[in-house]
């Protein structure tokens, strides 16, 4: 069975104030063409269909168009909700849409109930694990500690229990939206850290033939059977080195996996350039970036006059301007943002407590901070 694995469409999202709806529509057209020309048997979409819980009308209309075009192909589509989606809104009408071959899986309670498709070699069971916010689903899965690994492990127990009841030789595919250990994040994914831990080990998914992951925006191979498709379009300059693509997966009669990357059309390349303003304006090695979307980091010790206006004369699609003046490492003017780089919300909050009272939080206070952050994420998941 040939599968096309994609995720993280983020319909409705802009790129540094650039409206991406046209590029997203072009991607949908590319997806449909790929399904038709490459003889795809099923499409799998691993979450973050929309960019936010209440998407703009234009994004909803594009999604509606995508559903109709996929249904018209007569090729089944299995789709889950991600942490950016409102599971309830995305899942409205799922029962009716199911009849058209579009299988929306947004309910955590149904993760052990697969969509079963067949080819000449037998059945393939597709299990949809929508994004599982631990604080919201721990009771459903009967786990005491609200953590990503515990709730995903409990969900996979249901998957394996159902799979054990099926005919010998039934192949299995899991769609999941999570941060799996070994994955490389970018700046454009929303943080899903809970209790200081976001990543789950790939071993959680043992026992199935293919795991189609969503959430991280770079296409990645965690193992031969566990892969991220990545987002089809860039949504931050941290993705400048990404190759935007989908996975074309051939699932053999014995569950063997063969994978091929299918490139996606992007409206412009991304470029991150760095240096003093005059160097950027005159450097011959930067000529190749004149038609790219550009993030320019200026290292001038003193902020130059009208830098954006001057940059856009050479790089008309400059979208982001960052100032990082050259300073000695011990200079107290080193930016606050740099000091915070790579630190979690929990660590920043603990540092703030230490700063205002000259002593860091004790274990009880750390637990209070963790509970507060988890409660905020839980509230966001309800919206």
pLDDT value at residue 194: 45
In a domain, 333, yes or no: no
pLDDT at 355 over 90: no
Give the tens place of pLDDT for each residue, 129-169.
Answer: 999 999 899 999 999 888 899 999 999 999 999 999 999 99
DSSP string, 161-174: HHHHTSPTT-EEEE
- Quote the number of domains for the chain: 3
Asked if residue 276 and residue 253 are part of one domain, the reply reads: no
Asked if residue 143 and residue 22 are part of one domain, the reply reads: yes
pLDDT value at residue 358: 63
pLDDT confidence band for 330 (50 / 70 / 90): low
Asked if residue 361 and residue 228 are part of one domain, the reply reads: no
**166 Cβ neighbours under 8 A, 6+ residues apart:** 123, 125
Q: What is the CATH number of the domain that holds 215?
A: 3.60.21.10
pLDDT value at residue 195: 45
Asked if residue 375 and residue 246 are part of one domain, the reply reads: no
Asked if residue 254 and residue 141 are part of one domain, the reply reads: yes
Strand 199-200 relative to strand 318-323, pairing: unpaired
pLDDT at 84 over 90: yes
In a domain, 331, yes or no: no
Asked if residue 199 and residue 65 are part of one domain, the reply reads: yes
Mean local confidence (pLDDT), 301-308: 93
Mean local confidence (pLDDT), 85-93: 90
Asked if residue 38 and residue 178 are part of one domain, the reply reads: yes
pLDDT value at residue 327: 72
Asked if residue 133 and residue 109 are part of one domain, the reply reads: yes
pLDDT value at residue 190: 74
pLDDT value at residue 188: 80
pLDDT value at residue 312: 97
pLDDT value at residue 32: 98
CA angle 27, 32, 38 (to 5 degrees): 115
Q: Please report how many Cα atoms fall inside a 13 Å half-sphere around the Cα of residue 261, on the Cβ side.
A: 17
Q: Which of 208, 240, 263 is the last residue of a domain?
A: 263
Full residue range of the structural domain in which residue 114 is found: 2-263
pLDDT at 377 over 80: no
pLDDT confidence band for 255 (50 / 70 / 90): very high
pLDDT value at residue 218: 95
In a domain, 332, yes or no: no
Indicate the range of 90-94, 172-176, 292-296, 299-303 predicted with least confidence: 90-94
Cα distance between residue 86 and residue 136, in whole Å: 13
- Beta carbons of 230 and 220 less than 8 angstroms apart: yes
Strand 293-298 relative to strand 318-323, pairing: parallel
Residues above pLDDT 70, as percent of the chain:
92
Q: Which of 326, 349, 370 is the last residue of a domain?
A: 326
Q: Tell me the whole-structure pTM to 2 decimals.
A: 0.84
pLDDT value at residue 196: 45
Cα distance between residue 135 and residue 217, in whole Å: 24
More confident residue, 337 or 35: 35
């Amino acid at each position: 069975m040939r599968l096309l694995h994609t995720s993280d469409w983020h319909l409705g999202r802009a790129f540094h104030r650039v409206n991406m709806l046209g590029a997203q529509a072009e991607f949908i057209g590319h997806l449909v063409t790929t399904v038709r020309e490459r003889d795809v048997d099923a499409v799998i979409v691993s979450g973050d269909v929309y960019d936010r819980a209440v998407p703009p009308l234009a994004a909803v209309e594009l999604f509606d168009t995508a559903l109709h075009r996929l249904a018209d192909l007569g090729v089944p589509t299995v789709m889950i909700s991600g942490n950016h989606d409102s599971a309830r809104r995305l899942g409205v009408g799922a029962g009716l849409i199911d009849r058209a071959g579009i299988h929306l899986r947004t309910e955590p309670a149904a993760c052990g109930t697969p969509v079963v498709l067949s080819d000449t070699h037998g059945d393939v069971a597709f299990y949809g694990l929508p994004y599982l916010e631990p604080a919201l689903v721990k009771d459903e899965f009967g786990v005491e500690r609200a953590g990503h690994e515990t709730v995903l492990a409990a969900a996979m127990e249901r998957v394996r229990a159902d799979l054990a009841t099926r005919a010998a030789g039934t192949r299995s595919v899991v769609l999941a939206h999570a941060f799996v250990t070994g994955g490389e994040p970018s700046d454009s994914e929303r943080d899903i850290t809970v209790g200081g831990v976001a990543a789950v080990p790939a071993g959680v998914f043992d026992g199935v033939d293919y795991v189609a992951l969503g959430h991280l925006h770079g296409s990645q191979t965690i193992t031969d059977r566990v892969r991220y498709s990545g987002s089809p379009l860039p949504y931050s300059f941290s993705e400048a080195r990404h190759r935007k693509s989908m996975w074309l997966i051939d699932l053999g009669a014995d569950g063997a996996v063969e994978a091929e990357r299918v490139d996606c059309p992007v409206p412009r390349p991304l470029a991150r350039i760095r240096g003093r303003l005059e160097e950027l304006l005159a450097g011959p090695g930067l000529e190749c970036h004149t038609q790219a979307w550009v993030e320019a980091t200026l290292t001038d010790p003193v902020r130059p006059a009208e830098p954006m206006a001057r940059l856009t004369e050479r790089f008309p699609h400059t979208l982001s301007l960052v100032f990082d003046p050259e300073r000695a490492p011990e200079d107290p003017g080193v930016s606050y943002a740099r000091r915070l780089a790579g630190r979690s919300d929990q660590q920043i909050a603990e540092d703030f407590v230490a700063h205002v009272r000259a002593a860091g939080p004790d274990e009880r206070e750390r637990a209070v901070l963790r509970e507060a952050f988890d409660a905020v994420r839980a509230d966001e998941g309800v919206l």
